[in-house]
Every structure is written in structure tokens, then in C-alpha cells.
A and B are shown apart, each in its own frame.
Chain A
């Protein structure tokens, strides 16, 4: 099993240095992902979802354990693990086309000029952005920017596509459109995808497996939920599907009962006080 897995996280943990000593953000994260699998990471804010993603991307170095991609250790960023950033991160001085082209030029060096051009256009088409190819990021909407961001990531022909809350900043309608697009693209290209999300519906609708993270510090994987819904999935059909609703309930249960974080104001205060006392006693 371990040999055949595409992407493998073993005992991954990370400490961040702080003035008060190292802070353990993640601990013992074990995850094996198959080729073509769509994985969602879900959890409360600050639980270290993004840290996991950044470690896979190579932007962070794990303190303990490690990541293997096709049995090769990951220790630096690279285009085979393309990232779609939360706030699109397009170069604001380049048009949509040029943004994608930059990635193509950098990662597809074997292609001729003409092929590169076609590849850029192909990826823009994939995200339905051909019409705005020459627009600057400041001239297009948030959803369109995110589409270009996805096109840029796809253009790198990544083995794993990492998406850090790709639709977090978008309105509900745009988000739905983009989710559909991502499903289409996933169906067409069969990429391995790791996506971070806050949104339970999004996680259930898109994923093959939902990885639910416990709260930090020293966050780790709480539960893993297999979403056994046939593809292609249709959001309206799913809404009435009891299986879908069951998965949804499972995730909600995990988040709001097992890893309850939304406290009443008083509880919050009390907790804060004790945690402060703990901290100060720790220091002492």
C-alpha cells in the first residue's frame, strides 16, 4: 500500500520559533494520497491546514517526519506541486495571459514558442477566461482572478494541485461556478488535488476524502471521511441525496461537537484567562 501511494505524509510535525520558545503547530500528520484523488482539508481557523499545505508545497520545512511524492522527498517548492493561493496572487502588472505565460515559460521549457502559446490559451480556455486574456488583474473580478490563478497552476502540469481556500474570498454564486469548473477540470485531467476549505458543502461536494483536523496547538488529523458519491456530482441532486447529507452531518459533527471551538463569550473569556495563566506559569 505505502509503495503504491502517490503522495505520502509521514509523521509530519512542525515547530515555529517564537520569543517564548518553539511552538508546535503540527504533530504526527500521517496521510497517504492516491493518484487522481481529490482531498479536502477541513478544520477550524488556526488548526494548521495551511501549514500542511505549505509543507507539501515545500514552502515550509517539516521539523519532524517528511513528505514523499512518487517516493521522492519533498524539501523545496516546485512546479510539480502547483499552488493556487487564497488571494489569487497574480502578478498585478501582468495581464491574465502573461501571468499564465510566465508559468509556462518557466516550466514548459521543452515547448516551442507556438506550442507555448497554444498551451497558455488552452489553460485559459479550461477556466473559461479566454475572453479576458489581455486584462490586468485589477480589471477583472475576484472570481475571474481565481480562475486565472487556477489556469496558471494547471499550466505547470503539476503532479499535485494544492489549493489554499481557493474560493474563500468569493461570493456564494461565483464560488458555486468555480466549484463546478474545478470538478470539470478534475474529471478531465485527473489531477491529484489537495484543497483547504472552511466550507462543509464544498468539501463534501468536491472531495473523494475529507481530512478533518483537530484544533491546535499540536494539531493533527482527527478523522478521515470517505465520500462515496458517484461522479459527476450535481449540487442540486446532491442537496436531496441522504448520503450527501449524511456526510455533511458527519463533518459538522466533527467540527462543532468533537472539535468545538465556537464558545459562548463567557466561556471564551474564562478559557482565555486560564490559558494566559497557563502560559505565564509555563514561562515561570
Chain B
């Protein structure tokens, strides 16, 4: 077997030598002729390395690679799984990675200096929804009693009110109730907090100005960081009683029989923005054409993923189940990627929008999405000081770059790879979605008025409060 590999690699060496000579020959033959200038220039950097975390929502990267979209843009991309979100962010900052699949909060957190301070921007939202909250079998048993049932099955969405009984019980026994999320500025942290707070469970405050970054001040439920792929094992070990994470790590718990997903983030906030593709600002300034081409390839991948009513999803699942991408079993990934979601074992329900990659303008970087994350950072004390509405908008415009997205989209239309109707009306689009309903607590979010939004919550810092 080793012999074969040696042989093939030698074959490659010989082959690339030959290819090189041919190309040089062709190159010199064409030097004389003249060609009109391109609208979108050649990429400044062709060999790129992108990082990702083993989650199904990295799919646009894997698809853009496997379907050759990157190569068609003249980009030679290597995809590399990273150990955790912090390593991933650090490697983008110090240039080991050209870009990465990031939590929406990461570019924002880095820019405002929560955690590592660095200028990270994003011109591409990778998906909507895709997360869920899972609790261990034992907790589910205790919770289930308080969940309304209909026809022998729990009525969804399950509110945290049911969990509150369990948390109170823990509290009266003096036991800490611990849950896992993936990163302090992760969607999962804010979604889990949102769900808990909506059910009257205080998830705790951060106080970075006092040196407290544990996020457990006055908490009923103690949240801590665990990398996504280790969530099931950590819960199995009894270190946490539940977690909020992306797929396939909720379905994995069902398959392993160690826990029960109680709610998807689609039910917490319908079509919430999730991962983004982040690059460092200096990289983007140095490689503008490359950046546009990367976004082009990823828009195509997102379109492919949602095409014909999710028709390509089984093929996508097959790609993702390869060990170099997500690597979980096909069945586990397919459970959520193909429009269904399994809660309790056997309780498989239709959730067609559990993973949205392109429809509803999922890939467009809306300022209002950025501002929602900033409001949650403020709500839980990661932003310690009161800020003006203008500050929120300024930060959003610094990090979210629909201008780059628009260039990429227009180039795709010009190439005939997309229709202009696939995208928002670029001329009139403000980047602010109209006031959004569809939150589990029925509070309406208007991105243009972040401070007013903060004042609507019962639990959490208000627009002007300070710890």
C-alpha cells in the first residue's frame, strides 16, 4: 500500500513537471496577442487556506470546493478543520488562514475588542438557523412532566418554562445547573441565553470591565464553553446537563441515545442569521479581487445547496460526511440537512427551514443582523457601557460589507451564473430588515433602534444600565 502511494506521488511529480512545461510553452506563444481588460480583475492571491469547524453549516465551503466553484474563480483553496473557535480566529488574525467559517459574533467581537482585538470583516453570511438546544436524558425526564402534550407528543416549541422547574429544583438542592455553549460570542450563547431568559431563567452577566469573562454573574444556569464536536462527549461525561450547538451535534446525541434536543433555533427566532465567512480587514484590502471571487464561489455553493427545494441536499450530506469535513455518519447529518429534525428518538418532525443557505437572502450581510448580535452582547454585559444607536450602526457598517457582496453578485449575474432577481435590490437595499417578529417571546426586533429593543427585555441589561 505504501508502495502504491509512493508510486502515485512520483507519477504526480512527473506529471506536474510536464504540465508546467506545456503551460510555459503556451504562455510564451500567446504573449504577443492583446486582450481587452477584465471587469473583475484576476485574483491577487490564488493559493488560499480557509479554516472551518466541523459543523454542517460549513457546507458552502465544502460545496464550493468539491463542485469546483473556487477553481472556476482561479482560486486554489485548501480547507482545514480547526480545533476550536479561538484557534480558528487567532489563525485568521495572524494570517495562517486566509479566511474562515466564523460565528457571526466573532468579527463583531474582535472589532469591538471583546476577546482578541482585531479588525475582521465579513461580506458573506453562510446560513440561517441550524442550531438546537439539547438536554441530557435525565433532565429531559424531569422537564417532560411540565411540557404540554397533544396526541401523546410534546407540543412544540418547548419553552424554557419547563426547564425552569428543573433549574429551581437544582437551586433548592444547592447544585449548580451547568450548560454548554461553543464560544462567548457565539450565536449559540445568545440563543441559549435568549431561550433561557424567555423562560425566566437568568443565564448570567459578563463584566469584562471588572475582569469577569465567565458570564455567570447572578446566573441561574451556568454556561461554559465547549468546542462543538466535544459537546456530546462532555454531556455524556456529566460535566454539563445540556448544550446549544450546531448540527450534527444535536442529532448525534439522539443517535448515541444520550440526550434529547428540545428546541431548534428556528423556533427561538425564525430565520435567524448564523455563521459568516470572515477575513481580516488587512487581507481584504490587500486582496480585493480574491475576496470578491471567494464570495462569488460561495454564493454559487449556497445556491446549489438550496436549489430545487433542497434537491441537492443528499449529495451535500455525502460530501459533509467525509472525514475531512464534518465526518459524522451520513444518517446523522442527513437527519437535519434534508429538512427534518429528530427530537426525542423516533419523534422526527418536518423542519424544512432548519438549514437555510440561500433563500430569504440568507447570504446577504444585513446590518440589522450585526446589530442584533451587538444588542445581545450589550444585553449580557459583554459590552459594559451604554452605547448610542449610531454606535451600533457604525460598528455594523465597519464589519458587515454588503458592498463587496454586491460586486460579487453582479459579477455572477454578468457571468450568467445567477439572476439579478436572486438578490436584494442593491440600489435600494438599506441593509436593515423591516421589524422582525418570530421570536419565541414575541418581542419585535427593529435593527434601526437597538436601545429601544434592549429596553423590552425583562431579563438583561437595559440600554442605560451598567453592572
Please determine if A and B sit in direct contact within the complex, based on CB atoms under 8 angstroms apart: no
- B residues sitting closer than 8 Å to A (CB atoms) are none
